[in-house]
A = this chain, B = another copy of it.
Amino acid sequence: MTSSAVFPRQPLSGRRLTERFQTVRNQTVRLCAPLQVEDFVVSSMPDVSPTKWHLAHTSWFFETFVLAEHLPDYVSPNPRYAFLFNSYYVQAGERHCRAQRGLVTRPSVNEVFAYRAHVDEAVLRLCDRIADDPSHPAWSLIELGIHHEQQHQELLLTDIKHVFWTNPLRPSYHARPLGDRKPAALKWQRFDAGVREIGHEGSTFAFDNEGPRHRVFTEAFQMATRLVTNGEYLEFINDGGYRRPELWLSNGWATVRDGNWSAPLYWERESESDDWQEFTLGGTSDLEPSSPVCHVSYYEADAFARWAGYRLPTEAEWETAAATLPIAGNFVEGGVFHPAVDDGRGQWYGDTWQWTQSAYVAYPGYKPVAGAIGEYNGKWMSDQWVLRGASCATPQSHARLTYRNFFPSEARWQFTGIRLASDS
């Protein structure tokens, strides 16, 4: 079986593959514009990769899975880069240990950009040969690389936010976000019990873990029409949310105590007024009560839902509820990267990723592709939850109804928030 069967071709947006490749690669570079050389180097915690590494790894991805096989005369600028910039593909050879990514000062940022240019030139040369023919075996791999690059665009922003937060000087990536607005009223949409189909099918692009499309039964349920806000979450805090073990999963309560958690990540109290502030990519600002709460873990999302008398949705419920709506939302790719207020369309995409109570496991009939590329999604199917939707840091063209993002229970450096559900 070739990988093209699993990562199907997609003439997305009607644009040619060459154009899509260039657009997305350029966007990655644009995201680095506000950074100084020093900012590219460090990793502020085990989950965070250096910006420099993101830039190189996404290039290595094209080099390894596209160029090595389909451009016979391709020569890497440095054969050691394969060791340094392979993330986790054990079938693609030995690799640097993740814990030391932030300790490697060379290649320099300039050398990494040169590496990107080298890879770009080669991929474009290959694109010429392919002539936008989706039946060419390299076509779908290039498309996969483009979507892979988009994932790292979001990670780049997520990670640099944490790097800046780790610095007592609290530098900012960008200009300050705009002020707060009124949130929409929280309403509930009811869905009857029944058999549904979920998952991806067809010729447009999706990751392999989004399929096969299959049937599920959902008992009747209700789904909130917008996300939980900072203001609502503050009520939970003020009601002793972080001090009441009965509201928490057992592992969640252990995490709260061990980590001294008393609020979402990036919240801190202004030392004099005791008012809550939020660190954003635009620096520290007053907490906006109407914005969706962000940077909460599964444990916090679950505890909040229990406190509020609701629960988190399953991914089948989420997809069922979101299925009738177009993909639109507060994507702010060139903007402030600050969870935005409800625009009345339900906040399904473009504000925060939404925790579901569905564990990340294979759909019935799922088979990863053979070889290293099959490690992309399949080997992560334990000890994580599915998140649905898309965040303000997600590239808009990357958002999809069937997208299955996944993180473990305690992760909260991603742009993750809360949508409530309930039994009907």
Question: Interface residues, chain A, CB within 8 Å of chain B?
Answer: 36-44, 52, 80, 83-84, 88, 90-91, 96, 100, 102-109, 163-164, 166-169, 171, 193, 195, 214-219, 221, 245-246, 248-253, 298-299, 302, 311, 357-359, 361-362, 364-365, 375, 379-383, 408-409, 423
A289 to chain B, nearest CB (A): 29
Q: How far is the CA of A252 from the CA of B381 in the complex (A)?
A: 10
A344 to chain B, nearest CB (A): 29
Q: How far is the CA of A216 from the CA of B217 in the complex (A)?
A: 5
Contact pick for A195, options B80, B88, B90, B217, CB 8 Å: B217
Closest to A311 in B: B362
List the B side residues contacting A249 at CB < 8 Å. 379-382
Closest to A171 in B: B106
Excluding A38-B41, A39-B106, A253-B379, 19 further A-B contacts by CB distance (< 8 Å) are A36-B106, A37-B37, A38-B52, A38-B106, A38-B109, A42-B103, A84-B168, A90-B245, A104-B167, A105-B164, A105-B171, A106-B171, A195-B195, A195-B217, A218-B364, A250-B375, A250-B379, A358-B361, A382-B409
Q: Are B168 and A104 in contact (CB under 8 A)?
A: yes
List the B side residues contacting A169 at CB < 8 Å. 80, 84, 104, 106-107
Q: How far is the CA of A41 from the CA of B311 in the complex (A)?
A: 42
In the complex with contacts A105-B42, A108-B36, A171-B106, A100-B166 CB distance below 8 A: yes
List the B side residues contacting A409 at CB < 8 Å. 382-383
**12 examples of A-B residue contacts, CB within 8 angstroms:** A36-B106, A37-B108, A38-B38, A39-B106, A41-B41, A84-B169, A90-B245, A215-B217, A216-B216, A250-B379, A299-B382, A383-B383
